[in-house]
Amino acid sequence: MQRPDFLLSFFLVTLIVGCSGGNGDGLNVSGRPLSEAADVPLAATLESIQSNVFDPSCTLCHAGANAPQGLRLDTANSFTNLVGIRSRENGSVLRVAPGEPNNSYLVRKLEGTASVGERMPLGGPPIPQATIDFVRQWITDGALADSTGPSDSAPLIVSLTPMPDSVGAFPVEIIVGFDRDMDASTINAMTFELIRSGGDGQFDDGNEEVIVPSSVSLSSMNARVAIMDLAGVAGVLDRYQVTLRGTGANVMLSVVGRALDGEYTGSLPSGDGLEGGDFVVVFDVQGLQPTLESIQANIFSPTCAVAGCHTGPTGPNLPSGMDLSSADASFASLVNVASVEVPTTLRVAAGDANSSYLIHKLEGSAAVGAQMPFGGPFLDQSTMDVIRVWIDSGAAR
């Protein structure tokens, strides 16, 4: 048998001599020449995320004709490959759902909570959560394309969350994206309104109810995003109408004083090419809502409080001791109550879904015991996201 000493020595010398990467002179964090693209501070904008996340961490694979799942994340393609595009691994979820980071597959893949496939970047160290939070914020702000600065044209609406004519849970906020920077002083409750139909789906018969939001403002992190904050507003199953004013005494203006071109004819962006015009769309609130009553009626009662499971009475013995048989019992058993399986964790930590054992059990990430509902079928992510919203908004009774 030939001794391997010489060959191994040769190999090790080769490694030692060759084991140095490029020195990075004149390059940005992605390894591209600074003359081509300078480093950009981390911020909740696509340009910054492109420079700090996609280029250095994703484009090794997600570029070119062989990009996995056809997802190309280079500068020229990331926006059009992500925003509003269905995931190919999980077709029920958009890669980026503007305004909804929890429902965006990109976030799930980065945070390692996607139901299919491995956490991204594949084989690499996870992106720090502090960096992912900027991705979340960009999505929360409407997932807009890069800013091109002020323009003399009338501003258009390019995105709305919830989407026009959509059906779903009552939103915790309404997010509007514009195609240019807006004048913050014109974004207020007089130019951005929400009413509900009064139960008949009509908005012209006098029984409508004006919704009073917590606030209406331009995003402090993105001058192209207006946010109506609905925290504390009780959602009611009904049809809702959103109006953004482009005509009348109070109108939304761009930073150069051009009025909103808001006419909506079934697709975005808005506008008829002429300055002025109101943006009027509707959405419906139906089904599971982020309230305990709704979660009780739709999930806890039919799925958890079944014979032999979480039926009560309250006590230390599981599963019956975690009583989910009524909204009152569920509130008493869950909210700010320590888990029996993992006493250091609250079953529902009000305001913090990620730290809530209920979420860990439903999503199958708990350290102890089986994923719930026991034996399945398990809740889909959109349902769990509604529970998350209820917890994150304070887990009110």
The residue ranges that bind other proteins (CB under 8 A) are 1-4, 7-8, 11-12, 14-15, 18-33, 36, 39, 56-57, 60-61, 63-72, 74-77, 88-90, 114-118, 121-126, 128
CA distances from 190 to 154, 210, 248, 250, 272 (A): 19, 12, 10, 6, 23
CA distances from 374 to 58, 157, 229, 344, 363 (A): 37, 45, 37, 22, 12
Question: Least separation, in Å, of the C-beta of 365 and other proteins?
Answer: 11
**Between 68 and 315, CB nearer to other proteins:** 68
**Between 69 and 355, CB nearer to other proteins:** 69
Contact residues for 185 (Cβ-Cβ < 8 A; gap 6+): none
**Structural element, H or E, at residue 327:** helix 327-334
CA distances from 274 to 154, 257, 260, 278 (A): 8, 14, 9, 12
**Structural element, H or E, at residue 238:** strand 238-244
For residue 155, say if its preceding peptide bond is cis, omega within 30 degrees of 0: no
**Between 131 and 247, CB nearer to other proteins:** 131
**Between 122 and 318, CB nearer to other proteins:** 122
Question: Least separation, in Å, of the C-beta of 79 and other proteins?
Answer: 12
Residue type, 305: A
Long-range CB contacts (within 8 A, 24+) of 341-350: 341/366, 341/368, 341/369, 342/366, 342/367, 342/368, 347/322, 348/391, 348/395, 349/391, 350/391, 350/394, 350/395
Question: Least separation, in Å, of the C-beta of 125 and other proteins?
Answer: 5
In sequence order, the β-bridge partners of residue 182 are 254
Measured CA to CA, the distance from residue 238 to residue 240 in angstroms comes to 6
In sequence order, the β-bridge partners of residue 157 are 178
CA distances from 293 to 23, 71, 130, 322, 352 (A): 60, 40, 34, 17, 19
**Between 116 and 274, CB nearer to other proteins:** 116
Question: Least separation, in Å, of the C-beta of 19 and other proteins?
Answer: 6
**Between 63 and 268, CB nearer to other proteins:** 63
Question: Least separation, in Å, of the C-beta of 42 and other proteins?
Answer: 14
Question: Least separation, in Å, of the C-beta of 91 and other proteins?
Answer: 10
**What tokens were used for 14?**
């080769």
3-state SS assignment for residue 1: coil
Measured CA to CA, the distance from residue 155 to residue 228 in angstroms comes to 18
Question: Least separation, in Å, of the C-beta of 238 and other proteins?
Answer: 35
**Between 31 and 199, CB nearer to other proteins:** 31
Question: Least separation, in Å, of the C-beta of 309 and other proteins?
Answer: 24
**What tokens were used for 34?**
């600074």
**Between 36 and 165, CB nearer to other proteins:** 36
Question: Least separation, in Å, of the C-beta of 126 and other proteins?
Answer: 7
**Between 77 and 326, CB nearer to other proteins:** 77
